[in-house]
Amino acid sequence: MPAQGPRTEAELREHLREGGPALVALSGGVDSAVVAALAHAALGSEAIAATLMGPAVSSREVERAGSVARAIGIEHVVLLADPLGRAEYRANPSDRCYFCRQVESARLAEFARTRSRTQLLDGIQVDDLSDDRPGVRAMDEAGFAHPLVWAGWTKADVRRAARAYQLPNAEEPSDACLASRVAHGDPITAELLGRVEAAEAVLLERGFRRVRVRVRGRAARLEVDPEEVPRLLTEPLVTEVCVQVGRLGFEPVTIDPLGYGRARRSVATAEGGG
Protein backbone atom coordinates (compact mmCIF):
# COMPACT_ATOMS: atom_id res chain seq x y z
CA MET A 1 0.00 0.00 0.00
CA PRO A 2 1.49 3.38 -0.99
CA ALA A 3 2.70 5.57 1.87
CA GLN A 4 1.22 8.68 0.22
CA GLY A 5 -2.32 7.36 0.40
CA PRO A 6 -4.61 5.97 -2.31
CA ARG A 7 -3.47 6.43 -5.87
CA THR A 8 -5.80 7.84 -8.51
CA GLU A 9 -7.67 5.83 -11.08
CA ALA A 10 -5.46 7.33 -13.78
CA GLU A 11 -2.33 6.16 -11.96
CA LEU A 12 -3.80 2.70 -11.57
CA ARG A 13 -4.68 2.47 -15.27
CA GLU A 14 -1.15 3.55 -16.21
CA HIS A 15 0.28 0.95 -13.83
CA LEU A 16 -1.78 -1.74 -15.55
CA ARG A 17 -0.80 -0.48 -18.99
CA GLU A 18 2.88 -0.73 -18.11
CA GLY A 19 2.42 -4.35 -17.01
CA GLY A 20 1.41 -5.55 -20.46
CA PRO A 21 -1.19 -8.11 -21.59
CA ALA A 22 -3.27 -9.25 -18.63
CA LEU A 23 -5.52 -12.00 -17.39
CA VAL A 24 -8.01 -10.90 -14.72
CA ALA A 25 -9.44 -13.50 -12.35
CA LEU A 26 -13.07 -12.36 -12.50
CA SER A 27 -15.49 -13.68 -9.90
CA GLY A 28 -19.00 -12.33 -9.57
CA GLY A 29 -17.77 -9.86 -6.94
CA VAL A 30 -17.33 -6.12 -7.26
CA ASP A 31 -13.58 -6.07 -6.47
CA SER A 32 -12.48 -8.19 -9.41
CA ALA A 33 -15.13 -6.51 -11.58
CA VAL A 34 -13.47 -3.14 -11.01
CA VAL A 35 -10.04 -4.61 -11.83
CA ALA A 36 -11.48 -6.03 -15.06
CA ALA A 37 -12.97 -2.65 -15.95
CA LEU A 38 -9.69 -0.86 -15.24
CA ALA A 39 -7.65 -3.43 -17.16
CA HIS A 40 -9.97 -3.17 -20.16
CA ALA A 41 -9.77 0.62 -20.04
CA ALA A 42 -5.97 0.44 -19.89
CA LEU A 43 -5.27 -2.45 -22.24
CA GLY A 44 -8.29 -2.96 -24.47
CA SER A 45 -8.15 -6.32 -26.23
CA GLU A 46 -4.92 -7.20 -24.41
CA ALA A 47 -6.98 -7.78 -21.26
CA ILE A 48 -8.95 -11.00 -20.79
CA ALA A 49 -11.25 -11.93 -17.91
CA ALA A 50 -11.44 -15.54 -16.73
CA THR A 51 -14.05 -16.96 -14.38
CA LEU A 52 -13.58 -20.29 -12.65
CA MET A 53 -16.40 -22.79 -12.47
CA GLY A 54 -16.44 -25.69 -10.02
CA PRO A 55 -18.47 -27.39 -7.30
CA ALA A 56 -17.77 -24.66 -4.73
CA VAL A 57 -18.77 -21.80 -7.05
CA SER A 58 -22.46 -20.99 -7.18
CA SER A 59 -24.05 -20.78 -10.61
CA ARG A 60 -25.30 -17.28 -9.81
CA GLU A 61 -21.72 -16.10 -9.34
CA VAL A 62 -20.71 -17.42 -12.76
CA GLU A 63 -23.77 -15.78 -14.32
CA ARG A 64 -23.02 -12.49 -12.56
CA ALA A 65 -19.43 -12.56 -13.81
CA GLY A 66 -20.72 -13.01 -17.35
CA SER A 67 -23.04 -10.03 -17.05
CA VAL A 68 -20.19 -7.92 -15.67
CA ALA A 69 -17.88 -8.89 -18.53
CA ARG A 70 -20.56 -8.03 -21.08
CA ALA A 71 -21.14 -4.65 -19.46
CA ILE A 72 -17.41 -3.90 -19.58
CA GLY A 73 -16.91 -5.28 -23.08
CA ILE A 74 -13.94 -7.42 -22.04
CA GLU A 75 -13.27 -10.85 -23.54
CA HIS A 76 -14.50 -13.46 -21.08
CA VAL A 77 -13.80 -17.16 -20.67
CA VAL A 78 -15.11 -19.69 -18.14
CA LEU A 79 -12.63 -22.32 -16.96
CA LEU A 80 -13.18 -25.47 -14.92
CA ALA A 81 -11.16 -25.89 -11.73
CA ASP A 82 -12.04 -28.52 -9.13
CA PRO A 83 -10.22 -28.25 -5.79
CA LEU A 84 -12.01 -31.40 -4.60
CA GLY A 85 -9.18 -33.26 -6.29
CA ARG A 86 -6.98 -32.21 -3.37
CA ALA A 87 -7.31 -34.34 -0.23
CA GLU A 88 -6.19 -31.37 1.89
CA TYR A 89 -9.12 -29.32 0.60
CA ARG A 90 -11.67 -32.10 1.10
CA ALA A 91 -10.58 -32.44 4.74
CA ASN A 92 -11.62 -28.81 5.26
CA PRO A 93 -8.88 -27.57 7.63
CA SER A 94 -8.68 -23.95 8.78
CA ASP A 95 -6.37 -23.15 5.84
CA ARG A 96 -8.67 -24.80 3.30
CA CYS A 97 -8.61 -21.67 1.13
CA TYR A 98 -4.88 -22.09 0.54
CA PHE A 99 -5.36 -25.46 -1.18
CA CYS A 100 -8.35 -24.19 -3.15
CA ARG A 101 -6.45 -21.14 -4.40
CA GLN A 102 -3.47 -23.30 -5.33
CA VAL A 103 -5.66 -25.29 -7.70
CA GLU A 104 -7.47 -22.24 -9.04
CA SER A 105 -4.39 -20.07 -9.54
CA ALA A 106 -2.59 -22.91 -11.34
CA ARG A 107 -5.53 -23.26 -13.76
CA LEU A 108 -5.60 -19.52 -14.42
CA ALA A 109 -1.83 -19.30 -14.91
CA GLU A 110 -1.94 -22.24 -17.32
CA PHE A 111 -4.59 -20.52 -19.43
CA ALA A 112 -2.73 -17.20 -19.28
CA ARG A 113 0.34 -18.86 -20.78
CA THR A 114 -1.70 -20.16 -23.72
CA ARG A 115 -2.80 -16.59 -24.45
CA SER A 116 0.57 -14.93 -23.75
CA ARG A 117 -0.75 -12.88 -20.84
CA THR A 118 2.17 -11.56 -18.81
CA GLN A 119 0.11 -10.07 -15.96
CA LEU A 120 -2.03 -12.14 -13.62
CA LEU A 121 -4.45 -9.87 -11.76
CA ASP A 122 -6.91 -10.46 -8.94
CA GLY A 123 -9.38 -8.31 -7.00
CA ILE A 124 -7.77 -8.34 -3.56
CA GLN A 125 -8.03 -4.90 -1.95
CA VAL A 126 -6.66 -3.30 1.20
CA ASP A 127 -9.50 -4.34 3.50
CA ASP A 128 -8.84 -7.98 2.62
CA LEU A 129 -5.43 -7.76 4.25
CA SER A 130 -6.87 -7.11 7.72
CA ASP A 131 -7.62 -10.84 8.18
CA ASP A 132 -5.48 -13.93 7.93
CA ARG A 133 -6.31 -15.18 4.47
CA PRO A 134 -4.41 -18.27 3.33
CA GLY A 135 -5.89 -17.85 -0.13
CA VAL A 136 -4.01 -14.58 -0.59
CA ARG A 137 -0.75 -16.39 0.17
CA ALA A 138 -1.50 -18.94 -2.54
CA MET A 139 -2.21 -16.20 -5.07
CA ASP A 140 1.06 -14.49 -4.14
CA GLU A 141 2.96 -17.74 -4.66
CA ALA A 142 1.36 -18.17 -8.09
CA GLY A 143 2.56 -14.74 -9.19
CA PHE A 144 -0.71 -12.82 -9.07
CA ALA A 145 -0.54 -9.04 -8.68
CA HIS A 146 -3.03 -7.14 -6.53
CA PRO A 147 -3.52 -3.81 -8.33
CA LEU A 148 -6.09 -2.52 -5.85
CA VAL A 149 -3.64 -3.09 -2.99
CA TRP A 150 -0.90 -1.37 -5.02
CA ALA A 151 -3.25 1.60 -5.37
CA GLY A 152 -4.18 1.56 -1.68
CA TRP A 153 -7.88 1.15 -2.46
CA THR A 154 -10.35 0.00 0.16
CA LYS A 155 -13.79 -1.51 -0.38
CA ALA A 156 -15.28 2.00 -0.30
CA ASP A 157 -12.93 3.09 -3.11
CA VAL A 158 -13.87 0.02 -5.10
CA ARG A 159 -17.60 0.71 -4.71
CA ARG A 160 -17.13 4.28 -5.93
CA ALA A 161 -15.25 3.09 -9.01
CA ALA A 162 -17.89 0.43 -9.70
CA ARG A 163 -20.61 3.07 -9.67
CA ALA A 164 -18.57 5.30 -11.97
CA TYR A 165 -18.18 2.43 -14.44
CA GLN A 166 -21.89 1.59 -13.99
CA LEU A 167 -21.10 -2.04 -13.30
CA PRO A 168 -24.20 -4.22 -12.81
CA ASN A 169 -22.88 -5.57 -9.49
CA ALA A 170 -21.82 -2.19 -8.07
CA GLU A 171 -24.25 -2.51 -5.15
CA GLU A 172 -24.27 -6.29 -4.80
CA PRO A 173 -23.18 -7.72 -1.43
CA SER A 174 -19.95 -9.65 -1.14
CA ASP A 175 -20.14 -13.39 -1.54
CA ALA A 176 -17.81 -16.30 -0.83
CA CYS A 177 -17.35 -19.83 -2.09
CA LEU A 178 -19.91 -22.38 -0.99
CA ALA A 179 -17.29 -24.29 1.01
CA SER A 180 -17.03 -21.32 3.38
CA ARG A 181 -20.44 -22.32 4.74
CA VAL A 182 -19.16 -25.66 6.03
CA ALA A 183 -17.65 -25.82 9.52
CA HIS A 184 -13.94 -26.59 9.50
CA GLY A 185 -13.26 -30.27 10.04
CA ASP A 186 -16.47 -31.40 8.35
CA PRO A 187 -15.49 -33.08 5.05
CA ILE A 188 -16.37 -31.22 1.86
CA THR A 189 -18.09 -33.11 -0.95
CA ALA A 190 -19.66 -32.02 -4.21
CA GLU A 191 -22.98 -33.39 -2.97
CA LEU A 192 -22.87 -31.25 0.18
CA LEU A 193 -21.94 -28.11 -1.75
CA GLY A 194 -24.82 -28.72 -4.13
CA ARG A 195 -27.25 -28.97 -1.23
CA VAL A 196 -25.92 -25.75 0.30
CA GLU A 197 -26.43 -23.92 -2.99
CA ALA A 198 -29.97 -25.31 -3.30
CA ALA A 199 -30.75 -24.28 0.29
CA GLU A 200 -29.53 -20.73 -0.32
CA ALA A 201 -31.65 -20.59 -3.46
CA VAL A 202 -34.72 -21.17 -1.26
CA LEU A 203 -33.98 -17.85 0.47
CA LEU A 204 -32.84 -15.95 -2.61
CA GLU A 205 -36.02 -16.89 -4.47
CA ARG A 206 -37.98 -15.19 -1.69
CA GLY A 207 -36.20 -11.90 -2.19
CA PHE A 208 -33.55 -12.01 0.54
CA ARG A 209 -30.53 -10.04 -0.60
CA ARG A 210 -27.66 -11.75 1.19
CA VAL A 211 -27.96 -15.26 2.53
CA ARG A 212 -25.78 -17.89 4.14
CA VAL A 213 -26.69 -21.47 4.99
CA ARG A 214 -24.05 -22.51 7.52
CA VAL A 215 -23.61 -26.23 8.00
CA ARG A 216 -22.21 -28.34 10.80
CA GLY A 217 -22.87 -32.05 10.49
CA ARG A 218 -26.47 -32.37 9.35
CA ALA A 219 -27.55 -29.09 10.97
CA ALA A 220 -28.14 -25.92 8.96
CA ARG A 221 -28.33 -22.37 10.31
CA LEU A 222 -29.88 -19.76 8.05
CA GLU A 223 -28.58 -16.20 7.99
CA VAL A 224 -29.98 -13.15 6.22
CA ASP A 225 -29.16 -9.48 6.67
CA PRO A 226 -30.13 -8.27 10.18
CA GLU A 227 -32.86 -5.95 8.89
CA GLU A 228 -34.46 -8.88 7.04
CA VAL A 229 -34.56 -11.25 10.00
CA PRO A 230 -38.05 -10.11 11.16
CA ARG A 231 -39.53 -10.93 7.74
CA LEU A 232 -37.88 -14.34 7.67
CA LEU A 233 -39.32 -15.11 11.11
CA THR A 234 -42.91 -14.38 10.06
CA GLU A 235 -45.40 -17.17 9.40
CA PRO A 236 -46.01 -18.94 7.14
CA LEU A 237 -42.67 -17.95 5.53
CA VAL A 238 -40.40 -19.29 8.25
CA THR A 239 -42.10 -22.70 8.25
CA GLU A 240 -42.08 -22.91 4.46
CA VAL A 241 -38.37 -22.08 4.30
CA CYS A 242 -37.38 -24.49 7.07
CA VAL A 243 -39.40 -27.32 5.53
CA GLN A 244 -37.87 -26.80 2.08
CA VAL A 245 -34.33 -26.63 3.44
CA GLY A 246 -35.03 -29.70 5.58
CA ARG A 247 -36.09 -31.63 2.49
CA LEU A 248 -32.56 -31.11 1.17
CA GLY A 249 -31.24 -33.31 3.97
CA PHE A 250 -30.54 -30.76 6.70
CA GLU A 251 -31.77 -31.32 10.26
CA PRO A 252 -32.30 -29.38 12.38
CA VAL A 253 -32.82 -26.14 10.45
CA THR A 254 -32.60 -22.98 12.56
CA ILE A 255 -32.74 -19.23 11.93
CA ASP A 256 -29.96 -17.06 13.32
CA PRO A 257 -31.80 -14.25 15.17
CA LEU A 258 -28.83 -11.88 14.89
CA GLY A 259 -28.49 -12.13 11.12
CA TYR A 260 -25.51 -12.06 8.81
CA GLY A 261 -22.50 -10.14 10.08
CA ARG A 262 -23.73 -10.10 13.67
CA ALA A 263 -24.02 -13.80 14.26
CA ARG A 264 -21.80 -15.29 16.95
CA ARG A 265 -20.14 -17.70 14.56
CA SER A 266 -18.21 -20.68 15.76
CA VAL A 267 -14.48 -20.19 15.52
CA ALA A 268 -14.51 -23.36 13.44
CA THR A 269 -16.49 -21.68 10.64
CA ALA A 270 -14.74 -19.36 8.21
CA GLU A 271 -16.42 -16.92 5.89
CA GLY A 272 -13.47 -16.69 3.56
CA GLY A 273 -14.35 -13.28 2.16
CA GLY A 274 -18.11 -13.28 1.85
273 pLDDT above the threshold of 60? no
Cβ–Cβ under 8 Å, residues 222 and 211: yes
Please indicate, yes or no, if residue 64 is contained in any of the structural domains. yes
**Same domain flag for 147 and 213:** no
**Domain count along the chain:** 2
| Residue of 250, 240, 150 whose CA lies nearest to 199 | 250
Pairing of strands 219-224, 211-216: antiparallel
The residues, ordered by sequence, that sit 6+ positions from 215 with a Cβ below 8 Å of its Cβ are 181, 182, 183, 186, 192, 196, 221, 250
Residue spans of alpha helices (H) in the chain = 9-19, 30-43, 59-72, 87-90, 96-114, 134-141, 147-151, 155-164, 190-204, 229-232, 237-247
Task: Note the pLDDT of residue 262.
Answer: 62
Distance CA 58, CA 177 (A): 7
Task: Note the pLDDT of residue 272.
Answer: 36
Cβ–Cβ under 8 Å, residues 238 and 232: yes
Higher-confidence position of 57 and 1: 57
Please indicate, yes or no, if residue 269 is contained in any of the structural domains. no
14 pLDDT above the threshold of 90? yes
Task: Note the pLDDT of residue 264.
Answer: 44
For the segment 104-124, the average pLDDT, to the nearest whole number, is 97
Please indicate, yes or no, if residue 262 is contained in any of the structural domains. no
Tell me the pLDDT tens digit for each residue of 156-189: 999 999 999 999 999 998 888 999 999 999 999 9
Please indicate, yes or no, if residue 271 is contained in any of the structural domains. no
Q: Find the range with the poorest average confidence among 7-16, 103-112, 133-142, 247-256.
A: 133-142
> How does the average pLDDT of the chain come out, rounded?
92
Range of the domain at 244: 178-255
**Same domain flag for 62 and 150:** yes
- Decide: helix, strand or coil at residue 195: helix
Distance CA 145, CA 253 (A): 41
**Same domain flag for 59 and 148:** yes
Instruction: Return the sign of the alpha-carbon dihedral for residues 122, 126, 129, 131.
Output: negative
265 pLDDT above the threshold of 50? no
Q: Please report, for the domain that includes residue 138, its CATH number.
A: 3.40.50.620
**Same domain flag for 73 and 129:** yes
| Residue of 272, 254, 54 whose CA lies nearest to 183 | 272
Tell me the pLDDT tens digit for each residue of 73-111: 999 999 999 999 999 999 999 999 999 999 999 999 999
Higher-confidence position of 255 and 133: 255
**Same domain flag for 136 and 52:** yes
Tell me the pLDDT band of 139, cut-offs 50, 70 and 90: very high
